[in-house]
Chain A
């Protein structure tokens, strides 16, 4: 009973861009600058083999990374099967397979 009494502070659910650690984002942009060309059209996600069976969403994932939201990345990124269909449909020529590889490398180097 006592634990339900009184007040508690809820952590913020909004993206706190100022506080977020953008190390992985910076690493990604530096090593695969084509990620900056994304216009969020979702072609990659629509055609994604993994996204067909799981909740993996490559567009949302790399957008989260660019905002410094990297909490679930390590687990998420393992879902990609490297089929490369995303890259075939991208209208901006983003090198998406290297985006995934680079994120993996960033996690390795930066934790």
Chain B
């Protein structure tokens, strides 16, 4: 089947790009390996910093695609190649797709917290990830320990799998800091009797209204912030956890018992991103994320004419930035199809 553009990956980036392309009057097919569109965002309850329901963003983006995007779920890319400006994609099901342009929006995966064995994820009952906490929120469940009790004290651990040469990820995942602050507020909101302590190295409140959310967490919700990176964690016989860190601001080692620990897991390139990039011979940076043709001037294009990169394939990005990048990509694709690419 012939299409003008194929977008690979129906997370928020791919959906936004496909919707924008369709609104520009371009014939677009959206391929998704999962059975549903929405990517990581569909697992999220509310979004930082405004705490808007994630569903609102997905619904809006879904509507933008309603006018004519050919959405194919359950269609992982088996192979992709290009010849004389035509891309041929073979999905695992359905007929092959020929397209004049491809937008790669296969995004990221969350860091596998089991790799930080000293944090006890997958070993101790009451260590969960930020994504799992979000699932609890979005299912409307009450937050309890694995044993069913109401937690009295929770530790939130920043930079799990990010800024850590021991796991090979030197980069900052950008969004975890503010996610931690948002989730700290939401825990306090749900369980007013539960103390929340955030353990951090630096708090990177880089975007609009992030710092204000941090301020609110302290002023309105009484969240405590301890400047020290978690060194190790051990489990007590009652399944509570002992955290060991340095309270660097007093200069002394600190032990603290918590009922639950939330690990703010960072970004890693998704296996699909790595696999498809390999098939196309795209280059990636030392962090494993894909490199655009130029970081300033051609940040959506690649060395292959007609092949575009959008969103978190290029590194950690929040939803707002991913959507903006997707819209920028759509404009670039339109220019390319019109033969008007900027040099």
Contacts and interface: CB of A to CB of B under 8 A. Distances in A.
Interface of A: 39-48, 51-52, 57, 59-60, 88-93
B34 interface: no
B201 A41 contact: yes
A89 B231 contact: yes
B169 to A, nearest CB: 10
Given A59-B246, A89-B118, A43 B229 contact: yes
Given A40-B248, A41-B228, A89-B118, A46 B254 contact: yes
A57 B252 contact: yes
B118 to A, nearest CB: 7
Contact of A60 (B165, B229, B251, B254): B251
Interface of B: 118, 159, 163-166, 201-202, 227-232, 244-248, 251-254
A88 B163 CA distance: 15
Contact of A91 (B164, B245, B252): B164
Most chain A CB atoms below 10 A, which of B118, B159, B251: B251
B246 A42 contact: yes
B166 A91 contact: yes
B174 to A, nearest CB: 16
26 contacts: A39-B163, A39-B201, A40-B248, A42-B228, A42-B229, A42-B247, A43-B229, A43-B231, A43-B245, A43-B246, A44-B246, A45-B248, A46-B229, A46-B232, A46-B244, A46-B246, A46-B254, A57-B251, A57-B252, A59-B246, A60-B251, A89-B232, A91-B229, A92-B165, A93-B165, A93-B166
Given A42-B246, A93-B165, 4 more contacts: A40-B201, A43-B231, A91-B159, A91-B163
Contact of B228 (A46, A88, A93): A46
A51 B253 contact: yes
A62 to B, nearest CB: 13
Which of B118, B202, B245, B248 lies at the interface centre, i.e. has the most chain A CB atoms within 10 A of its CB?
B248
A43 B227 CA distance: 11
Nearest to B118: A89
A60 B248 CA distance: 9
A39 B170 CA distance: 12
A44 B164 CA distance: 13
Contacts of B118: 89
A93 B227 CA distance: 20
Contacts of A57: 246, 251-252
A87 B319 CA distance: 36
A105 to B, nearest CB: 25
A91 B202 CA distance: 13
Given A91-B164, A91-B166, A93-B165, A41 B229 contact: yes
Given A40-B248, A41-B248, A89-B118, A46 B165 contact: no
Contacts of B244: 46-47
Contacts of A91: 159, 163-166, 201, 229
Q: State the 7 A-B residue pairs at the shortest beta-carbon distance, nearest first.
A: A42-B246, A46-B231, A41-B229, A45-B246, A42-B248, A91-B164, A47-B231
A89 B228 CA distance: 13
Given A41-B228, A91-B229, A48 B248 contact: no
Contacts of A93: 165-166
Residue from B159, B228, B247, B254 whose CB has the most chain A CB atoms within 10 Å:
B228
A93 B230 CA distance: 16
A15 to B, nearest CB: 14
A25 B103 CA distance: 51
A103 to B, nearest CB: 18
A90 B232 CA distance: 12
Contacts of B166: 88-91, 93
Nearest to A39: B201
A45 B247 CA distance: 9
A48 B163 contact: no
Contacts of A48: 253
Contact of B245 (A42, A52, A88): A42
